[in-house]
Chain A
Amino acid sequence: MVYALALFLGNSKPVFSQSTPVTEFERDFQEYTLSLEEYDNAHGAYILARSQFLRFGTLTSRNNAKDATKNMLAARDEVVIRYSTAIGSRLREVSGVNQDTKDRISNELAEEIVWFEDHKNSLEGAGSLEDLFDDSDDARRRFNSLGPVIYEPLAQVPYGRVSRFHERLTENFLAIKDKVNEIRNEEREEYQLSARKLESIDGWIFETEERIVRSEEKLVEVGDIVAVIPRQEGMTSSQNRYNDVVTRSGVILQDLKDASLFIREIVRGVKTK
């Protein structure tokens, strides 16, 4: 017995708990994930109670269905609350987005969070199944109007990222360009590069400038799309707008990758004879 226990303990592997979230977004996202699981459980119980009530129609089954519906609606509201919180914390972490824009979107998300919290608390006062149906319809209408509130921060995330990349790349490019001009104007013979080498570097500089200018033009277009999201827009339209922003941001990202590659060529050209 002792030997078996020792063998078991010796062969058992350590079990680690879930990694502790580090950032605010990771914490909020973890809570959102947990709320989703609770909602799934509550929804399953609701489906079961509903089917039993529809089958038997007894008073007990009706009460059970009412309780299950109430729990499910509360869990559903909690999901929306946690989701909105996670989106807000994600937006706050992204650099490249205007602070005013972040504040505006955060306020809008906070409004929705407050509404759904009040709605969840009001479910306790529902006297009948019909009351719960009405409460559910209120939440449904509110959620369907959340398209711009949800998709604007989601669209700001890729836009902010490529904006920041563009900014950093431009800084690096200007720095290397200044260095090349300094080398070009160098009077000391040992610090000069050959004409052929300088010509090659100029070619790379030209290509890099072209990519940066092109990406900047596309950034302006994306910024216009993100900034003008009408609040009356439905969920589907907002989603389409978000997809458009992501696609365009991908094109800009590719231009920035090319520009980065060309800058590396410039650096390599400067470092070699």
Chain B
Amino acid sequence: MSAQLQDKMKPVEPLDGSGNESGNSGPSGPPELLSGLNPAFYNTVAAAIQSLRQTFSSLVSGFRGGVHKAQPAKGQPIKPKTQAVKQVSDRPSVTNVSGLKKPSVFGPLRKIFKILIIVIMALGLIYWVLTLSDRSGNGNGGSGPGSNIGNGNFTPTPIEIEPSQPSIYALDEVILQLEEDINTLDRELSTTVLRETSLNPPKLDLNVRF
């Protein structure tokens, strides 16, 4: 049994605060709030907390150390995982739990993931800058296909619309009648159909033979 496991198996110091576990920062003593708890229960909880802390610290150190460890030296072949695992199990007992090295399985993936994140963030930043420049250039807030006409330098020509005032002939009967006639004619011109497709000659079977 490794020393790490042996350390974990050591009983937690009693609740009366006589001492802590070697090398670990356990609870210094029973606080007043815990005075009413069962000491055995308290020791169990403290041991669980301690083991969780050790596991987390070992994972963190393993990620940090695994990135560098996953890159083989130039010219040297990558060692297979089985050998790495075997090496870990053959190591002498480690007294410091935090020094345990996790196998470098996630190293390359972590690097690729980092690169991907950076690329995506860069693309998003570029897109944001472009849309920002479009909005400031056109002032219409749109990003549609027509928003980049003239590279943002397009300024519409102001149309001088003169307000029209009715003349004395606005209510002239002759003019109004003419206007109505021409509007009617315009409607008929717009709706008339010249080709009567319904009156095309019928298609008949004219070759009757047996």
Q: For A29, what are the chain B residues with a Cβ–Cβ distance below 8 Å?
A: 198
B92: Cβ under 8 A from any A Cβ: no
> Given contacts A65-B210, A249-B194, A253-B192, are A39 and B164 in contact (CB under 8 A)?
no
Q: Is the CB of A79 within 8 A of B167?
A: no
Chain A interface extent, by class:
35 or more
Q: For B166, what are the chain A residues with a Cβ–Cβ distance below 8 Å?
A: 271-273
Q: Which of B19-27, B110-118, B179-187 contacts A (4 or more CB under 8 A)?
A: B179-187
Q: Is the CB of B194 within 8 A of A161?
A: yes
Q: Is the CB of B208 within 8 A of A193?
A: no
Q: For A250, what are the chain B residues with a Cβ–Cβ distance below 8 Å?
A: 194
A9: Cβ under 8 A from any B Cβ: no
Q: For B169, what are the chain A residues with a Cβ–Cβ distance below 8 Å?
A: 183, 270-271
> Given contacts A140-B206, A250-B194, are A263 and B175 in contact (CB under 8 A)?
no
Q: Is the CB of A253 within 8 A of B194?
A: yes
* CA–CA, A105 and B210, complex, Å: 37
Chain B interface extent, by class:
20 to 34
Q: Is the CB of A253 within 8 A of B189?
A: yes
Nearest-neighbour CB distance to chain A for B26, whole angstroms, equals: 81
- Which among B170, B189, B195 is the interface contact of A260 at CB below 8 angstroms? B189
B36: Cβ under 8 A from any A Cβ: no
> Given contacts A133-B209, A172-B181, are A143 and B204 in contact (CB under 8 A)?
yes
Q: For B199, what are the chain A residues with a Cβ–Cβ distance below 8 Å?
A: 83, 86-87, 90, 154
A229: Cβ under 8 A from any B Cβ: no
A257: Cβ under 8 A from any B Cβ: yes
Q: Is the CB of A273 within 8 A of B198?
A: no
Nearest-neighbour CB distance to chain B for A268, whole angstroms, equals: 8
The main secondary structure of chain A at its interface with chain B is: helix
Q: Is the CB of A264 within 8 A of B192?
A: no
Q: Is the CB of B204 within 8 A of A246?
A: no
Nearest-neighbour CB distance to chain A for B54, whole angstroms, equals: 76
Q: For B196, what are the chain A residues with a Cβ–Cβ distance below 8 Å?
A: 90, 154, 157
Q: For B206, what are the chain A residues with a Cβ–Cβ distance below 8 Å?
A: 136, 139-140, 143-144
> Given contacts A157-B196, A253-B189, A253-B194, are A53 and B181 in contact (CB under 8 A)?
no
Nearest-neighbour CB distance to chain A for B38, whole angstroms, equals: 75
Question: Restricting to A248-262, which residues have a CB under 8 Å from any CB of B?
Answer: 249-250, 253, 256-257, 260-261
B1: Cβ under 8 A from any A Cβ: no
- Which among B182, B185, B201 is the interface contact of A150 at CB below 8 angstroms? B201
Q: Is the CB of B194 within 8 A of A162?
A: yes
* CA–CA, A169 and B192, complex, Å: 15
B76: Cβ under 8 A from any A Cβ: no
Best-surrounded residue of A36, A140, A191, A267 (most CB of chain B within 10 A) = A267
Q: For B188, what are the chain A residues with a Cβ–Cβ distance below 8 Å?
A: 165
Q: Is the CB of B192 within 8 A of A235?
A: no
Q: For B121, what are the chain A residues with a Cβ–Cβ distance below 8 Å?
A: none
Q: For B144, what are the chain A residues with a Cβ–Cβ distance below 8 Å?
A: none
* CA–CA, A133 and B201, complex, Å: 22
B153: Cβ under 8 A from any A Cβ: no
Q: For B209, what are the chain A residues with a Cβ–Cβ distance below 8 Å?
A: 133
- Least CB separation from B195: chain A residue: A246
* CA–CA, A263 and B192, complex, Å: 19
> Given contacts A158-B195, A250-B194, A271-B169, are A264 and B164 in contact (CB under 8 A)?
no
Nearest-neighbour CB distance to chain A for B191, whole angstroms, equals: 11
> Given contacts A260-B185, A272-B164, A273-B165, are A172 and B198 in contact (CB under 8 A)?
no
Q: Is the CB of A179 within 8 A of B186?
A: no
25 pairs from A and B in contact (CB 8 Å cutoff): A29-B198, A36-B202, A39-B202, A50-B210, A54-B210, A65-B210, A79-B202, A80-B202, A133-B209, A136-B208, A139-B206, A143-B204, A143-B206, A150-B201, A157-B196, A161-B194, A172-B178, A253-B189, A253-B194, A256-B189, A260-B182, A263-B182, A270-B167, A272-B164, A273-B166
Q: With contacts A54-B210, A260-B186 known, what are 12 further pairs, Cβ within 8 A?
A: A36-B202, A50-B210, A143-B204, A143-B206, A150-B201, A175-B178, A179-B178, A191-B168, A253-B189, A253-B192, A264-B183, A272-B167
4 closest Cβ contacts across the A-B interface? A158-B194, A136-B208, A140-B206, A272-B164
